[in-house]
Amino acid sequence: MEPILQSKWRKLDGTRIERPIITAVENALINERELGNQIKVCIGTDSQVRGLETEFATVIVLLRKGRGGFMFINNDKTRNKMSLKERLLIEVSRSIDIAYHLCPLFDKYGTELEVHADINTNPRFGSNTALTEAMGYILSMGFTFKAKPDAHAASCCANKVV
């Protein structure tokens, strides 16, 4: 997989982001601020195994407090075989990677950031096997952690585009 920062991004309507994602996010933050909108950013990744391929979708969701939101989307595929736990931790790693690189923007514009993991807090679900590691990884990087049912960027937004 190519580094997520340099890979192709798009909007929900399919419009490709031709400039670097950092520039696109900064322009969005500036535009929303000029419109008087307060923004919170949630970053999450989901994946789906289809035959021999695993597809990942990472989203950067910009929520306008009280006014909806929009997202930037990155899709990527691999043929690497992996266990459920490994796949979930790769999802978290992808989210952290983009959050880490965009963090200076969020600091510059005073924007709240959450990293969402598509991991269930209920031990009856298979994804729960990665909860402790995912939470530790995200929190140790200094980010706010959200898991299901509060991880809408991963479990709803990324899930729809994977």
Domain boundary assignment for the chain: 9-161
Phi-psi region of 133 (alpha: psi -120 to 50; beta: other; left: phi over 0): alpha
Confidence of residue 7 (pLDDT cuts 50, 70, 90): confident
Confidence of residue 4 (pLDDT cuts 50, 70, 90): low
Whole-model pTM?
Answer: 0.93
Asked whether the beta carbons of 131 and 162 are under 8 A apart, the reply is no
Number of other residues whose CB lies within 10 A of the CB of residue 129: 17
Res 130 pLDDT > 80? yes
| Mean predicted confidence (pLDDT) in 55-83 | 96
- Return mean pLDDT, the chain: 95
Candidates 47, 58, 59, 50; CA nearest to 85 is: 47
Q: Which CATH class is domain 9-161?
A: alpha beta
| Mean predicted confidence (pLDDT) in 103-132 | 96
CA 65-57-76 angle, 5° bins: 145
Place of tokens 């920062």: 5
User: How many CA atoms lie less than 13 Å away from 36 in the CB half-sphere?
Assistant: 1
Res 2 pLDDT > 70? no
Confidence of residue 1 (pLDDT cuts 50, 70, 90): very low
Res 95 pLDDT > 90? yes
Confidence at residue 3, expressed as pLDDT on a 0 to 100 scale: 61
